Copies of this chain bind each other. A is one copy, B any other.
């Protein structure tokens, strides 16, 4: 009797495994197959490509890889929002830039670039505690909407990528966000939006100062950039914060090139992917002639030479947003 119950249970669980697709928003094709095969191989003990659990590090760019970045990074809209709600204008040489932003059209914002956005946010928020900053990000995210897609940014997260993160977590990987965006900006929502805790978020970081008196403490933001987390700096901050070479890297633009090279140069089996925005109907289609998320011909060539996977949003994803 017990044995029959056991066999029935086994049958049931096997059936569940066979019918539950961990990547339902991915169409059948080479990208989906490559991801599933990679995960199966490196997690199968005894397989020549087996990788121990503690070394299963996966890194994800954020803007354009995990959520929408067009026509401009979400953090730029946050900056614009903060400028509009400024109690008083800052002094000095940046006053001009800030004043321009007050009347900004989207084009001047786009031209700023992610590092400059972080620098300006740094200037606006000098003296703000990190707690106040986190609250201001969360408040903004709760009310802000993407001007074209007319939805909150936290709903403009790519469902297929959430499925990849979950698949990796279920298989003993540790997923990190490695973004040019502000580290504290992303940490304010990453746990709720992506299920990625603060210690696994690496971004452009400003220096903070610790103050303490009589049991009450705070961290205060300074305008000093510790690092601009793009291009080769992404490899450097992974080294600094994690100290291991990743075996999975997902990016979508020239700013992710070195992160993918770093991942791919390892001796372990690895998986490097680029999300290509080629879906004008459901999201955006853009390549090299843009300020944001440049996907240059050089990047495409490097990908083809190294057999990196180029994910077509149009063809590989049957659903875009969560």
Contacts and interface: CB of A to CB of B under 8 A. Distances in A.
A236 B183 CA distance: 14
Interface string A205-234: 101111010011101000000100000110
A265 B208 contact: no
B235 A210 contact: yes
Contact of A258 (B210, B235, B244, B264): B210
B130 A217 contact: no
Contacts of A199: 241-244
B226 A265 contact: no
B198 A210 contact: no
Interface in A154-202: 183-184, 187, 197-199, 201
A48 B242 CA distance: 34
A261 B226 CA distance: 24
A87 interface: no
Nearest to A305: B215
Contact of A212 (B130, B201, B261): B261
A208 B226 contact: no
A198 B243 contact: yes
Contacts of A197: 54
- What class of interface size applies to chain A in its complex with B? 35 or more
A240 interface: yes
A78 interface: no
A111 interface: no
Contact of A265 (B54, B184, B205, B215): B215
Contacts of A205: 240
A239 interface: yes
B262 A217 contact: yes
Nearest to A206: B240
A135 B243 CA distance: 15
A219 B239 contact: yes
Nearest to A207: B236
Nearest to A2: B2
Nearest to A134: B243
Interface string A235-253: 1100111111000000000
A54 B196 CA distance: 11
A265 B232 contact: no
Interface in A117-147: 130
3 A-B pairs with the lowest CB-CB distances in the bound complex, closest first: A198-B243, A210-B235, A210-B232
19 contacts: A54-B197, A130-B239, A183-B240, A198-B242, A198-B243, A198-B244, A199-B242, A199-B243, A205-B240, A209-B236, A210-B232, A210-B233, A212-B258, A212-B265, A215-B265, A217-B261, A217-B262, A217-B265, A219-B239
